[in-house]
Amino acid sequence: MSGTKPKRALAGTLILAATILATGCTTIPKDQGRSDIQSIVDEKIGAGGLELPTLDTGIGMSEEETTRLLAFPLSLKDAERIALYRNPQVRSKLANVGLREADFAQAGRLRNPGFSFSRFSSQDYEATTLFDIGGLLLMPLRRKVAARELDIATYRAASDVINHVASSRRAWIEAVAEAHKTRLMEQALESLEAANELIRQMTAIGHSSRREAAQSELALVEFRAMLSRQRVEETNRREALIRQLGLYGSDASLLTLPERLESLPGEQVDYKEVAKSAVANRIDVEVARETIEALATNLKLTKASPFLNVLELGPVLERSEGETERGFEIELVLPLFDWGGIKNERARITYLQAVADAEYTAITAASEAREALNAYRRAWDVANVYEERVLPLQDYINEQELLRYNGMLISVFDLLANARRALNTRIEAVDRLRDYWLADNRLRQVLITGGGIPVSLGAALASAPDDAAAGH
């Protein structure tokens, strides 16, 4: 095997090897898939200035900008921005896409060629170089599988970002509501302490009994205990918000919140065909579709692998007895004992399982959308009852009770009892407004990503006055 033909064969082999190497030269995008995630987030919730952080720069918001935002009561929009830029969990989720980008790039590269050299005497030897031809033939399918997995990772990362923003909104809503309730109770405590001091003076001059003084003191002690529990709850919600924002050190101590939640909108948002919208647009439904397509491609790859998984081709150079011979060597693993039937069946069952999971995901999306819409509507109804009926009625009762007290028609204990009822009513109103904004937040989340914590309105419905509810 000498002369022109072997030389041409060797040259052809070298050209083939160069082509294989060129085909395998794929790289990872510099932004690790960040721009693709940003596009999905902007499509689902609108741009709104929520730009994703980068992995390389660490914190996505400077200390100076964070301090500037924390110098004023933190708005909901600013809370979303800080939570997105400062919380390291977001960057950790984004890193998953970078990993899948690396897998996709790796799927476009072949295994390194193998080289063997054998020497038999001072002049006799054999040299072989083998290239992974099977990997080259399977590369299109492998890249399709890796591309699908990359798409799935991108959608999941976008879903994680949107859920993180929704969780941040929830934490902000709850923290503001609890701080408002604490202030209401602190104001009530001042009135209760003044009334208790008045009863002490009346007891000292004989205008009130010691029993009444003891009752007043007991009520004051119990209320202080309630306020202590409320302050613990406020601190818990504040710290939950701090964790969600990713604040640390002095930034955490700088956090201040608005005095109250935004007022109830004049009317409900008119959501139409929420079940259909959820199935068509939710990210987890899209991920289920992508998973099915990825597994379908993987099933084709699994069927082809037993024949092409180990197929190597390369030139051979052999020198023996002073003569040099050139040729080719092909190495192929014969599937004599394992034709891949078990792997094929496993891949097929995995595919069918994904189809069933996708069907249930769509069912769940539609159901959660209807559930969230119903909770949203009921939360608006209850909050509107308190705003339009309960609070005005309680204000009227407060005025009448004060007039009766000034006219000496009721005792200070009756006035204090009404004050306690009025405080409970205002706290309930804060809770019902909080429930509305939480229900609004969850409905938006359910229509995009799913998940979220359902809003329970059982206590609200049970505590709503019958006459107020009837008036609505």
Domain ranges of the chain: 4-466
Q: How far apart are CA 223 and CA 234, in angstroms?
A: 16
In degrees, to the nearest 5, what angle opens at C-alpha 98 toward C-alphas 280 and 344?
Answer: 65
Count Cα atoms within 13 angstroms, Cβ side, for 268: 19
* Pairwise CA distance, residues 307 & 109, whole Å: 20
Going by C-alpha positions, the residue among 277, 284, 287 that lies closest to residue 447 is 277
Q: Which residues pair with 325 in a beta bridge?
A: 318
Q: How far apart are the C-alpha atoms of 387 and 396, rounded to whole Å?
A: 14
Tell me yes or no: is domain 4-466 CATH 3.30.70.360. no
CB burial string 181-192: b at 16+ within 10 A, e below: bbebbeebbeeb
DSSP conformation class of 183: H
pLDDT 10s digit of each residue in the chain, 472 long?
444 444 444 444 544 554 455 454 555 556 667 778 888 888 888 756 677 777 666 556 777 888 888 989 999 999 998 988 888 888 888 877 777 776 666 666 666 666 666 666 556 656 676 666 656 665 666 677 677 777 888 888 888 888 889 999 999 999 999 999 999 999 999 988 888 888 888 888 887 788 888 888 898 999 999 999 999 999 999 999 999 998 988 888 899 999 999 999 988 888 888 888 888 888 888 888 888 877 777 666 566 554 444 445 455 555 555 566 665 555 555 555 445 566 777 778 878 888 888 888 888 899 999 999 999 999 999 999 999 999 999 999 989 988 888 888 888 778 888 888 999 999 999 999 999 999 999 999 999 887 666 666 544 444 444 443 333 3
